Structure 1
Amino acid sequence: QEGSAYKVSGGLHGVGVSCVNALSEHLEVEVYRDGVVHRMAFERGGVKQPLAVVGKHAGETGTMVTFRPDPEIFPEVDFNFQTLATRLRELAYLNPGVTIVLKDERVGADGKLREEVFHAENGLLEYLEHLMIGKTSFSSPIYIRQEVEEESQICEIALQYHDGYNEMLLTFANNIHNTDGGTHGQGFKVALTRTLNAYAKREGLIKEKDPTPSGDDLREGLVAIISVKLPDPTFNNQPKEKLLNPEIEGFVSAALSSALDSWLQEHPAEARKICLKGVVAAQAREAARKARELTRRKTALDSGSMPHKLRDCKTKDIDLAELYLVEGDSAGGSATQGRDVETQAILPLRGKLLNVEKSRIDKLLGNEEIRTLIAALRV
């Protein structure tokens, strides 16, 4: 449709090209349209040649921008081929079917010119395949596309798991890489966690005593790309590091929830592997937390401080010293009055002691009275 290519745009006010123009010694724009060529030229931000028709053209339509950075501002200019190649390859993946040609007309050390052509017929699936190089896949790739024509919104998601632990989540809005994520990334995370946990509980993969996997647990070994296209995007700053449009969170979340739930039901073996990977990650996280707490408690017990409830004796000779355990402060007071201060220590404890023979070590050391007793005995 006429003008449909301009419904979504990475920029809002033309700041990017305006800055390039202001910082260029020379900039020229040629537009090939309606059988003619329009040209306009600038010099250090000012108009050098007004817009004019300069010839006829019967071929394809398009725009060509040529610029030369101002040496007074940039004394040394070195365009990095690899940086440009990485960005253009990214754009090819985000726009399936589009061919992008990068030519470097500078003669290299080998005496040759460099040229690369970028084309991805399968878009994000090819991007996912590229990102999975060197990784052992844990699941087949999942691709989701949702479009709301009346809102001019498109959501594309490609994801796959590998057997590692690192997470890679790339988010794009109108072809711009949002390095800090945003509402599209948040919608993805919420839906992924909710959908996988719901499936795992429904299938009995999470036992009653198991911790519920968190979002971080369920994203271990995940590679995912989220690309949204929308009119009037709002970003946090000019580099567009984070998408802020609130409506996009629900849009992405709904798209992923529905499609992923269907995929899980259609691929039960892979669904089980993915969910159990998250369950194991949650168990490992919980075990690590308990280990940290035990270490902290042990450090506290080893610090040498005596419990405040202990009525200690004067002797330091362990062969002569006696420790009496009594129930409650009331009994502790009476015992303290009738003791031999030289050799008898009194420790009031609250309630019935835990049966340590039948308790796990983390539960044992989590009991305040047991910790008090250990500290008093200095063991």
Structure 2
Amino acid sequence: MSGEGLRYDAADIEVLDGWEVVRKRPGMWVGSTGERGLHQMVFDVVGRAVSAVLAMGGGCVDVTLTPDGGVRVVDDGMAVPFEGAGDGSVLGLEALLTSLRAGPEPDGRRIALVGHFSVGLFIVNALSSRLTAEVRCGGVRRVQEHARGVALARPAVVGPTRTSGTTVAFWPDAEIFETTRCSFAVLAERFRQVAFLNRGLEISLTDERRAGGARRVRFRFPERVRDFVAALNAETGAALEPDVIAFEREDPRMAGTMEVALMWGGSREERLLSFANSRLTREGGTHVDGFHDGVAAAVTAWARSRGLLTAQDAGPGADRIGEGLTAVVSVKLDRPEFLGPTRGLLGGAEVRACVSQAVREHLGTWFEERPDRAAAIVDRIIRHLHRQ
């Protein structure tokens, strides 16, 4: 075969930059051009708002699905000025919206990862037919309009304000997405999870698209993961058990905090949800392994101290303690190590060791303080072990 027809040089290279890169292959940035990609856009904007609220110690994020297909996200958190810091140490909102090189916002224990991954506001802007950003800061409201990733004008002062925060409203581009209609149920469930996991956070979701009138849900959970486990147990139809075991601990060895809640109920199945920096870790990881290690160690130690197991008997492993167990394991790390292409698996050997020790110590103390309940729980596990 002659090579003359296969010549390839610089003239054949297509160079794309900025919003063109994103709009050329949108699925590469948000996962799909279907509903999943649409939700990722919403989660990215909401994640920025939640992180801004958490930086202030708490507050509100209000999400509205508008009748014309838009999504409006309002927060009362720390506002990011359009211009950012004068020394360039902090990117301004305009740069985050219009520069691909600005990248996604930073990770860390104080950043809530609401979506499956984080791509940044620029991606949302590039894949929207229209986007409006409003910043309320220093007593002034300023607004900037965008179309398909391009700013139409400089930020403009539109009036005074007594509040602080940010509003981002965007309209997913119908030329790109197969549907521009978000699922109320999918968004509500994810916002509910995020509210369970973060102290002082309130999230509301309003759907104005319904012909029969708007519907609204509001999520705020003062007891956080304790409330989460009680809600999961209630979903099984079982009577609410009074003994939700919960604790929170910071451990510098893993550069982060953990929050754990668990209970044993009447179900035969284990139901465990795990999170890292508010992201659902569907494949588990070292925080889940550490939880199982700690529960098994606490059960084994208590059983041996009461003569239910001899020194020669093997203790129950992680696969033997799950009957009737409902739990939530949440860690927030300065440097989370996610594994795999979907980032649904948490790594880090130090996380496993820290969570294991904390669970073993806290559950062991709980057993000692409530011997009657401990006896019922451990006896059930040991009988299950002997049936194997």
What TM-score bracket applies, with the shorter chain setting the length? 0.5 to 0.7
What amino acid is the match of 2:250?
E
Counterparts of residues 280-291 of structure 1 (less than 5 Å): 280-285=383-388
Counterpart secondary structure, 2:174: coil
What amino acid is the match of 2:144?
M
Instruction: Indicate the residue corresponding to 2:307 in structure 1.
Output: 204
Deviations 1:294-333 (A, max 9, x none): xxxxxxxxxxxxxxxxxxxxxxxxxxxxxxxxxxxxxxxx
Q: Distance in 1 between matches of 2:141 and 2:199?
A: 28
What amino acid is the match of 1:58?
R
Q: Distance in 2 between matches of 1:274 and 1:92?
A: 30
Instruction: Indicate the residue corresponding to 1:29 in structure 2.
Output: 133
Counterpart secondary structure, 1:93: helix
From 111, 116, 131, give the equivalent of 1:9: 111
Report if aligned partners of 2:304, 2:311 keep a CA contact under 8 Å in 1. Answer: no
What amino acid is the match of 1:18?
F
What amino acid is the match of 2:111?
S
From 40, 46, 62, give the equivalent of 2:144: 40
From 321, 327, 332, give the equivalent of 1:218: 321
Instruction: Indicate the residue corresponding to 2:267 in structure 1.
Output: 164
Shift of 1:282: 1.4
Q: Distance in 2 between matches of 1:214 and 1:148?
A: 25
Instruction: Indicate the residue corresponding to 2:193 in structure 1.
Output: 90
Deviations 1:316-371 (A, max 9, x none): xxxxxxxxxxxxxxxxxxxxxxxxxxxxxxxxxxxxxxxxxxxxxxxxxxxxxxxx
Q: Distance in 2 between matches of 1:211 and 1:191?
A: 15
From 64, 67, 72, give the equivalent of 2:170: 67
Instruction: Indicate the residue corresponding to 2:215 in structure 1.
Output: 114
Instruction: Indicate the residue corresponding to 1:263 in structure 2.
Output: 366
Shift of 1:55: 3.3
Counterpart secondary structure, 1:15: coil
Residues 1:175 and 2:250 are matched in the alignment:
no
Q: Distance in 2 between matches of 1:55 and 1:118?
A: 31
Instruction: Indicate the residue corresponding to 1:49 in structure 2.
Output: 153
Q: Distance in 2 between matches of 1:254 and 1:207?
A: 23
Name stretches of at least 5 consecutive residues in structure 1 with no aligned partner.
286-379
Residue 38 to residue 232, structure 1, CA distance change in 2 (3 Å): farther
Q: Distance in 2 between matches of 1:152 and 1:269?
A: 36
Instruction: Indicate the residue corresponding to 1:193 in structure 2.
Output: 296
Q: Distance in 1 between matches of 2:137 and 2:253?
A: 29
Shift of 1:137: 5.7
Counterpart secondary structure, 1:100: strand
Q: Distance in 2 between matches of 1:25 and 1:106?
A: 19
From 119, 127, 134, give the equivalent of 2:228: 127
Counterpart secondary structure, 1:49: coil
Q: After the TM superposition, which segments of 4 or more aligned residues of structure 1 sit over 6 Å from their partners?
A: none
RMSD, matched Cα: 2.7
Report if aligned partners of 2:109, 2:332 keep a CA contact under 8 Å in 1. Answer: no
Shift of 1:245: 3.2
Q: Distance in 2 between matches of 1:268 and 1:84?
A: 42
Q: Distance in 1 between matches of 2:228 and 2:55?
A: 28
Shift of 1:175: 1.2
Of structures 1 and 2, the larger Rg is shown by: 1
Name stretches of at least 5 consecutive residues in structure 2 with no aligned partner.
1-53, 58-107
Residues 1:235 and 2:235 are matched in the alignment:
no
- What's the TM-score, normalizing by structure 1? 0.67
Shift of 1:246: 3.1
Using CA pairs under 8 Å that are at least 6 residues apart, name the structure with larger relative contact order, 1 or 2: 2
Residues 1:20 and 2:124 are matched in the alignment:
yes
Shift of 1:17: 3.0
Matched residue count: 281
Shift of 1:275: 1.2
What amino acid is the match of 1:9?
I
What amino acid is the match of 1:165?
R
